[in-house]
Amino acid sequence: MGSIVGIWARVASSPRPDNTETWRFGESNTIVIDGEYEVFCDASVRLIPAPGHTAGHQVLYVDLVQTGSVVLSGGLHVLRVGRDGQRVPPFNADSAKTAEAIYRIEAFIDASESELWIGHELARFNQLLKPPEYNW
């Protein structure tokens, strides 16, 4: 079974790739994903499997108009020092899968010329423009 992502908008009528199933739970849709997933079917927002931190862990690729391509690390990298030292974070369901995911995602970042944004990296967060200065 793949990862579960809650989509809070009403998306049941949207076209979906072959690697998904849509389940209705109340007023939300949940899509069960097996593999990579393009959220808007145009490659601008993609969920990319990176299991290890958790069984269904994913990173998020976003192609931003003003910023360019960005990969949000989730739990793949916790701090920049861990990425720079090529260390697997200590909190993982499967360290071997995390190491494999790190290798694969780093190759994707290089190939797509993306910037990695590490979620727990306060120094990087403080550098980012926030609304209203940044116009999404």
Q: pLDDT by residue (tens digit) across 82-125?
A: 788 778 888 888 999 999 999 999 999 999 999 999 888 888 88
Size of the chain, expressed as the number of residues it contains:
136
Give Cβ neighbours of residue 52 (< 8 Å, ≥ 6 apart): 76, 88, 92, 93, 94, 95, 96, 97, 98, 99, 100, 101, 102
Are 95 and 52 in contact by the 8 Å Cβ rule? The answer is: yes
Query: Fold for domain 36-136?
Result: Metallo-beta-lactamase; Chain A (3.60.15)
pTM tops 0.85:
no
What is the rounded CA–CA span in Å between residue 78 and residue 90?
9
pLDDT band at 136; cut points 50, 70, 90 = low
What are the domain boundaries of the chain? 1-34, 36-136
